[in-house]
Chain A
Amino acid sequence: MALVFDRPKSLTDKKFHYCPGCHHGIIHRLAAEALDELNIQQKTVVIASVGCSVLAYDYFDTDAVQAAHGRAPAVATGVKRASPESVVFTYQGDGDLASIGMAEIVHAAARSENITVIFVNNAVYGMTGGQMAPTSLMGQQTSTSPQGRSAESNGYPIRVCELLATLDGPSYLARVSVHDPKHVREAKKAILKAFQMQIQHQGFSLVEVVSTCPTNWHLTPVEALEWLEKKMLKQYPLGVFKKIEGVE
């Protein structure tokens, strides 16, 4: 019988530890499929960050470096500059990338470091138990904004793609989602594009994936998908925010 669907080669056999309804599993798979299809598994180094995806180095069947909270773009810079033939990507959450690691991501983008960033935005700190993130929505209740995020005490959520799009450095910035099969397919295309940019020496590429955290949103997986579609996508519209021309 012909095998039509299998685990990507670029994933290990290790079972994901992620909660039911969490999108990390899908996003890991899409990244791994991209590595397989571009035939770059053997030269890829993944930079794992701090957050729920801290154990990414257990899941990607590639060499890996685990980075301190927020520092993944700096670590990736070091790896890529010292080993330019390697394909280097970071896998970061919103607390990691948009709060403690804001300086590192902005400057890696500004330098146009030839790396790829997969940025998972689920509007909450997952691993530490559902605290407010820089991307939490206005009014969103979290364990550190129990009355809901207010402009007065917490300020406003950060749109990372739009912010980075003001820079000259990035070659490709896209925001995607994986809340239904159509969007999964589009997300896959964006992730492929981001890696292609790196392979073609075009400089910094980033794909932001708007995703769910049913556990810390206190919703069922199905409710979480609805919340993402109705609330998250209003604050974080999908689309391509930067794409340099002439790259196929």
Chain B
Amino acid sequence: MSLVLKKGNEVVGEAAIRSGCRCYFGYPITPQSELPEYLARRLPQVGGVFVQAESEIAAINMVYGAASTGVRVMTSSSSPGISLKQEGISYIAASQLPCVIVNIMRGGPGLGGIQASQSDYFQATKGGGHGDYRLIVLAPSSVQEIADLVKEGFQLADTYRNPVMILGDGILGQMMEPVDLGSGDVGELPDKPWAARGKKGRRSRNVINSLYLDSEKLEQLNLSLQKKYRLIAERETRAETYLTEDAQIVVAAYGMTARICKEAVDMVRKKGIRAGLFRPITLWPYPEKELRLAAQHSQAVLTVEMSAGQMVEDVRLSLNGEVPVEFYGRLGSMVPSAGEVFEEIQRISKKIGEVK
């Protein structure tokens, strides 16, 4: 294992290359521009393709085209740019093409700001574009985890022929941490007999398409997508728990916010409050069972987000009224401090005490 000190955005790019990705299409936007800049340097060195597209819309459609040929391909952007990509993402999901889409979230709505945020959770996990589709959404909380999840993302995308989103935030993209990038030996990439690169003597044609004018056929496509999504939901949930075994209060948070909450958990533990942390790594599929298990002996769950409360809906759905759910969030790129979360846990702890 060899550690290098590297910026989050650049690690996305290096991890993609070490996952066998040789095609990147993107458009500059803060706070992720280091990623296309890095790949503009690196991809030509490994015989890859880097194209700065004329827009995010064009970039995602280039991804759609490249993915149609069966190669590993990635694009990245930040919140407003991801909004522009939604049309293409819906087509990619419907056509069942593998690819990795990176959203280094910034504050919104509208042009918003350029600092970190988590306010694109709904867009990432509930659709974003039109139609009944799902992205597999992975939420790293460290630079090391960026490297790990980008690699896993490419594998999941190929396994399920489904777009995967890496949902990070501006802090994670901009921070430097030591990281083990691994060897980059991905072995043989999976065969893609469906790829459209020319018939090359095949009798049947490979057609990448999402148009079904016959409603019965469109329903069949949707049913098969839903079947795939159920399979993914059964198999692919990931979560980390920290001190939840005896926790009276479970804090649920993802990404950077989870790291802040971990510190707050340590702080309240010193005061004798039994708190723990539940950190979903897959935001879709949401690790519902893992959360129920983590919260089974708790008296309250506190969800903390850099948003007005988006993931908290999945927390409530997972727990289905079994445990009271509280929410604490900061908006517009304001970052909750460990001290603020510490206060919140203390407040809830007091409330639980009074109820008793």
* Interface members, chain B 54-90 (any A CB < 8 Å): 54-55, 57-59, 61-69, 71, 73, 87-88
Also in contact, A42 and B54, with CB within 8 A (given A71-B61, A75-B65, A78-B62): no
With a cutoff of 8 Å between Cβ atoms, the chain A residues found around residue B209 in the complex are: 48, 57, 64-66
Q: Name which of B66, B67, B196, B210 has the most chain A CB atoms within 10 A of its CB.
A: B196
Q: Given the complex of chains A and B, what is the CA–CA distance between A115 and B58 in angstroms? A: 16
- A74–B208 touching, CB < 8 Å: no
Contact of B196 among A55, A64, A68, A71 (CB under 8 A): A64
Also in contact, A65 and B201, with CB within 8 A (given A57-B209, A75-B61, A79-B68): no
The list of the 6 closest CB pairs from A to B, nearest first, reads: A78-B65, A43-B198, A74-B61, A78-B62, A82-B66, A107-B54
* Interface members, chain A 9-47 (any B CB < 8 Å): 12, 41-45, 47
- B208–A104 touching, CB < 8 Å: no
Contact of B58 among A43, A81, A86, A103 (CB under 8 A): A103
- B200–A79 touching, CB < 8 Å: no
**Inter-chain pairs besides A12-B205, A64-B207, 19 sampled, C-beta below 8 Å:** A42-B199, A43-B198, A43-B200, A45-B69, A48-B209, A54-B211, A61-B205, A62-B198, A63-B196, A63-B198, A63-B199, A64-B209, A66-B211, A67-B65, A71-B58, A74-B62, A79-B68, A103-B54, A104-B61
With a cutoff of 8 Å between Cβ atoms, the chain A residues found around residue B55 in the complex are: 103
Number of interface residues of A (CB under 8 A): 38
Which single residue of chain A is at the shortest CB-CB distance from B55? Answer: A103
Minimum Cβ distance to chain A for residue B87 (Å): 6
- Is A77 among interface residues, defined by CB-CB distance under 8 A? yes
Interface of chain B: mostly helix, strand, loop or mixed:
mixed
Q: Given the complex of chains A and B, what is the CA–CA distance between A107 and B62 in angstroms? A: 12
* Interface members, chain B 6-59 (any A CB < 8 Å): 23, 25, 49, 51, 53-55, 57-59
Q: Mark B193-235, 1 if CB is under 8 A from A, else 0.
A: 0001111110001111111000000000000000000000000
Q: Name which of B61, B73, B205, B211 has the most chain A CB atoms within 10 A of its CB.
A: B61
Q: Name which of B59, B95, B201, B209 has the most chain A CB atoms within 10 A of its CB.
A: B209
- B88–A71 touching, CB < 8 Å: yes
Minimum Cβ distance to chain A for residue B136 (Å): 21
With a cutoff of 8 Å between Cβ atoms, the chain B residues found around residue A104 in the complex are: 54, 57-58, 61
- Is A76 among interface residues, defined by CB-CB distance under 8 A? yes
Which single residue of chain B is at the shortest CB-CB distance from A71? Answer: B61
- Is B91 among interface residues, defined by CB-CB distance under 8 A? yes
Q: Given the complex of chains A and B, what is the CA–CA distance between A87 and B208 in angstroms? A: 16
- A77–B65 touching, CB < 8 Å: yes
With a cutoff of 8 Å between Cβ atoms, the chain B residues found around residue A103 in the complex are: 54-55, 57-58
Q: Given the complex of chains A and B, what is the CA–CA distance between A75 and B209 in angstroms? A: 12
- A74–B66 touching, CB < 8 Å: no
Taking Cβ atoms with an 8 Å cutoff, the residues of A that contact B are 12, 41-45, 47-48, 54-55, 57, 61-68, 71, 74-83, 85-87, 103-104, 106-107, 111
Minimum Cβ distance to chain B for residue A192 (Å): 19
Also in contact, A78 and B198, with CB within 8 A (given A62-B205, A67-B61): no
Contact of A66 among B67, B200, B207 (CB under 8 A): B207
**Contact residue range for chain B?**
35 or more
Contact of B65 among A55, A74, A111 (CB under 8 A): A74
Contact of B87 among A68, A75, A81, A83 (CB under 8 A): A68
With a cutoff of 8 Å between Cβ atoms, the chain B residues found around residue A44 in the complex are: 198
* Interchain residue pairs with CB less than 8 A apart (9): A43-B199, A43-B200, A45-B198, A64-B206, A75-B62, A83-B69, A87-B198, A104-B54, A111-B51
Q: Given the complex of chains A and B, what is the CA–CA distance between A54 and B208 in angstroms? A: 13
Also in contact, A42 and B201, with CB within 8 A (given A57-B209, A81-B51, A103-B54): yes
- B197–A45 touching, CB < 8 Å: yes
- B197–A78 touching, CB < 8 Å: no
- B88–A68 touching, CB < 8 Å: yes
- B198–A68 touching, CB < 8 Å: no
Q: Given the complex of chains A and B, what is the CA–CA distance between A75 and B196 in angstroms? A: 12
Q: Given the complex of chains A and B, what is the CA–CA distance between A57 and B61 in angstroms? A: 18
Minimum Cβ distance to chain B for residue A70 (Å): 9
- B205–A64 touching, CB < 8 Å: yes
* Interface members, chain B 237-258 (any A CB < 8 Å): none
Minimum Cβ distance to chain B for residue A77 (Å): 5
With a cutoff of 8 Å between Cβ atoms, the chain A residues found around residue B51 in the complex are: 77, 81, 111
Q: Given the complex of chains A and B, what is the CA–CA distance between A37 and B71 in angstroms? A: 30
Also in contact, A86 and B65, with CB within 8 A (given A62-B205, A78-B73): no
Also in contact, A81 and B23, with CB within 8 A (given A42-B199, A42-B200, A63-B199): yes
Q: Given the complex of chains A and B, what is the CA–CA distance between A103 and B51 in angstroms? A: 15
Contact of A78 among B66, B95, B207, B211 (CB under 8 A): B66
